[in-house]
Amino acid sequence: MMHGFLDAFLVPAILAILRGAQPPYRDGGGRGPTPGLHGPTQLDCFEQYGGMRGQIMADITNINRERYYHLFTQKPYRPTPVLVINPLYKCWNDQYQTVFDSITSKIGPTQMFASFHGPHAKAVGEMADILIENIDTTDPSNSKAIEFFYYIKQRGDIHPQLFVNALPSALVATGSSLIGEPTPPLVEMFPSRFMPNLVQVPGIRPAEQSLRGSNKTCVKVNERWGSTKTNGIENRLCPIPRRGELFYFFHHDLMARYASERMANGFKDYFVEGIKPIVNYELKQGFDSNLRDGVSNLNWVNRVNSTFLNKTSLPADLYKKLEKHIILWRRVNEITQTDKVLDGNNDTVPLMPKPDGINTIGELFEASEWSINSYFYGDEGWHNTAHDILGSVLMEKDQEKRDEWGVLSDVATAVRDIYFYRIHNEVNNMFMRYKDKILKPYELTQGDYPFVVPGIVTKSIQVQGDTYHHVNNLTTLWRNKDMVLNGGLDIKPNKPGHELHLSVCLKHLDHEEFTYTIELENQGTKDRRVFVRLYMAPRYNLDRKRFNLTEQYRLFFTMDAFPIMLTPGVNTIHRKSQDSTVTNPWFTLTSELPPRSSLENIGKTCPCGYPHHLLLPKGSDDNLGVYDLVALVTDGADYNGQPTDLCASSYMHCSRLDGNREYPDVRPMGWPFDRRPSDDLSQADLDKLVQQVPNMAKTTVTIVHDDVVPKEHVI
């Protein structure tokens, strides 16, 4: 993972590809795409046949959002003869055939795609490289790029998920103006990756099993359909600022939220055990996703209870990876304890400067193209290899016959499995070992990034629900969402003209919207810009005792962060939950689009963000859901974002997609709850810290859950 840092972001649906398949890693330190990958430089095919565009490609000089959008809708029924008669496509065939042969030798067009599997990830990298070559950033119409994308789609031998995984890296590397252009959501591109039993048996179309207008029970599927995170995408030409740190921050936030929900539901092990896959490690919990892949028509491999990682459960090549995996873990762990790292020249050097230390660990632990030493720390990284190993349990051992994978092998399906969270808690643990061992706690007024900011007083904070209007008492609930999904790149219709339509009713967690009211005092005589950060964490342990700060700081997760201008004196700020810079609203389906003529007027949207309906953790029915809500205000200079940034509305997990790609918050991500408390505060509760920080305030919020199940209905 995870989610590295999809940081430069893309097409709305593509970004939902969580911590996607990483491009191939080369010699330590990262060098970007390999020069001369395709042999000697050749005459640009698009320029060579440009004079024929009007004859062989309709409207190629007037490319608009409509054409780009439909790259990601239903794939052609059969390979098109245009590849033979179209001189431009024939030229591209001749130019790139060697590369396509290499790609298809790693993953065929009808095989099951697993983004964490090494060969598939390398194929993604090769595809990204040739996409980069054909994105012309000097052409605002993107004519060449979109025509090349259509050429890839119409070849018929490129796996659709391979293309969708590769495109984000290519757009980011080139700074393409296609970043943020509308596309269908991932669930519409690949519905079989999200909906159980969608593909029943060969030859029967899902549309014949699920007709619009029939009575259907709502299904509770992967609630994180809309979760688009900035992990996995990388710039193959130059490193993205703080990408490795965002890899840490996203995992930390995710695991704090997950622990909070487990606690509210009565789990004593609310922080699940971090897994370190070693020989004979027991996977106690089995799992069956009930998913059938639409491209290959194969089931995802299930796992029985008490499966041991050994030569019996793993293919030989994955067993060798397992034997090396603990070595990779020890090497990374040594960095967290010594503050030293082995660089690309095999020299042991200090992990400096300090602000970049966490970034260096993130880049190599994942690993990304920019790992400081991918040979020593693993060219696939501890995190990606863990997914590959656990996703390969009980699969076919004969490589020639191997065609099925477990859900942990792919970013779109992994979140279903409990071991997804165990892998990612170990990722979080690794970063916290470094911060706890090497980095000093933040001080009140001294040191780097102190708590106290003179001249600002946070007098109070409260929250009120917009539905029930209770102060500091919020409600989560179940909702049904009706969706009509058009097409699907993973399910081929029986014949041309018979498009696939799926009517789906999704039962999902949601919450009442709410409003923060924050009183801030500007003690100066002039207007002052400030930066407001909002956090939440469980207040009590399962024995109903207050957490001390040492226990609680790892449970804080971000709710919002935003700049605002204060006039001298007391200011009352009202902030809507819908405006959170952590989340994004529900995606827009093809069936929900305006008329065709209006598509180009939609404008760009941020394709990244945590699902807004999951902003609050699920409430508790027995009053366990009591949280501390914290407002911490610092100087406005801490925020260097702009309202015009593509992802200004959800930058916290996404950074920026365009323009200046520096992360908008100059302080460490997760500050100040990313480091252990000082010794004098370690056994104290949160109240003592707040009393010493004038620009900090807190309140207690109770989240309850309305467990009424929405009625079934006709869609």
The reply to whether the predicted model has a pTM over 0.85 is: yes
For 138, other C-beta atoms within 10 Å of its C-beta total 5
* pLDDT tens column, 324-382: 999 999 999 999 999 999 998 999 999 876 667 899 999 999 877 888 999 999 988 99
Which one-letter DSSP state was computed for residue 605? -
pLDDT of residue 324: 92
| DSSP character string of 86-152 | -HHHHHHHHHHHHHHHHHHHHS-TTSPP-TTSHHHHHHHHHHHHHHHHT--TT-TT-HHHHHHHHHH
| DSSP character string of 382-444 | HHHHHHHHHTTTT--S-TTT-----GGGSTTTGGGSHHHHHHHHHHHHHHHHHHHHTSPPPPS
pLDDT of residue 47: 81
pLDDT of residue 59: 36
According to DSSP, the residues that pair with 630 across neighbouring strands are 535, 698
What letter represents residue 247's amino acid?
Answer: F
What distance in Å separates the CA atoms of residue 295 and residue 412, rounded to the nearest whole number? 14
Q: Which residue has the higher pLDDT, 143 or 428?
A: 428
For 321, other C-beta atoms within 10 Å of its C-beta total 21
- Asked whether 700 and 628 are in contact (CB, 8 A), the reply is yes
According to DSSP, the residues that pair with 639 across neighbouring strands are 665
pLDDT of residue 60: 35
Q: Residue 46: which residues within 8 A CB-CB, separation 6 or more?
A: 88, 134, 136, 143, 144, 147, 148
pLDDT of residue 186: 87
What distance in Å separates the CA atoms of residue 20 and residue 168, rounded to the nearest whole number? 10
Q: Residue 138: which residues within 8 A CB-CB, separation 6 or more?
A: none
pLDDT of residue 240: 78
Q: Is the pLDDT of residue 78 over 80?
A: no
pLDDT of residue 180: 85
Lowest mean pLDDT among 452-466, 591-605, 645-659: 591-605
For 263-273, what is the mean pLDDT? 87
Nearest to 167 by CA among 296, 101, 62, 71: 71
Task: Provide the pLDDT confidence category of residue 425 given band limits of 50, 70 and 90.
Answer: very high
Which one-letter DSSP state was computed for residue 700? E
- Sign (positive/negative) of CA torsion 633, 636, 638, 641? positive
- Asked whether 617 and 624 are in contact (CB, 8 A), the reply is no
What distance in Å separates the CA atoms of residue 456 and residue 684, rounded to the nearest whole number? 24
Q: Is the pLDDT of residue 322 over 60?
A: yes
For 192-198, what is the mean pLDDT? 79
Q: Which residue has the higher pLDDT, 444 or 137?
A: 444
- Asked whether 512 and 705 are in contact (CB, 8 A), the reply is no
Q: Is the pLDDT of residue 55 over 60?
A: no
Domain 280-437 has CATH 3.40.50.11740: no
The rounded mean pLDDT for the chain is 81
pLDDT of residue 80: 53
For 542, other C-beta atoms within 10 Å of its C-beta total 12
User: Residue ranges per domain, the chain?
Assistant: 12-183, 280-437
Task: Provide the pLDDT confidence category of residue 237 given band limits of 50, 70 and 90.
Answer: low
DSSP, collapsed to helix, strand or coil, labels residue 308 as: strand
Tokens of 399: 């490589």
- Asked whether 154 and 82 are in contact (CB, 8 A), the reply is yes
* pLDDT tens column, 691-709: 999 999 999 999 999 988 8
Which one-letter DSSP state was computed for residue 677? P
